[in-house]
Amino acid sequence: MSEQDAAGRIYAVMRRLVLEADDRKQHVVDALGMSYIRSRALRALAVEPIRMTELATRLVTDKPYTTLVVDDLEARGLVVREQDPDDRRCKIVKITPAGREAADTATRIITAPPTELVALPPEDLEALDRILGKLQHP
């Protein structure tokens, strides 16, 4: 087996493990009772309040759709819109305490390691940690 074939096989296992075996996005949707894009918005806003235009950029959505997302989150009491003190034409979106709780729930679900990974023996986890550490960017 060539190195390219081995890398392809390993990558297929990693993709299945991370993206397909346990649909984390669906778990977030079920836990929060909202679309995944709304949970992504909350997670972005949990980091810092941002302008609507910046939120659209981070979500990779257009401005009208971002407005619909924020309208829904605001109706649920998860975010508030305030006038930008630096530019009165713009709105800043801020997360509420309830929104932060929802964002934290989404983060816990998304970042939990897959059960197959947790089930590995410690020596295998150490080997994976060492190998994957070589793939991290500085």
What pLDDT score was predicted for residue 98? 98
Is the confidence at residue 38, as pLDDT, over 70?
Answer: yes
Pick from 41, 80, 38: which is nearest to 57 by CA? 41
Using alpha carbons only, how large is the chain's radius of gyration in Å?
19
Q: Using pLDDT thresholds of 50, 70 and 90, give the confidence band for residue 17.
A: confident
Q: Hey, what are 102's tokens? A: 């929802």
Question: Domain extents for the chain?
Answer: 3-133
| pLDDT 10s digits, 46-68 | 999 999 999 999 999 999 999 99
pLDDT reported for residue 66: 96
Domain 3-133 -> CATH class? mainly alpha
Angle of the 36-47 helix axis to the 63-75 helix axis, nearest 10: 80
Helix residue ranges per DSSP H, 16-62: 24-32, 36-47, 52-59
As a whole number of angstroms, the distance between CA 18 and CA 10 comes to 12
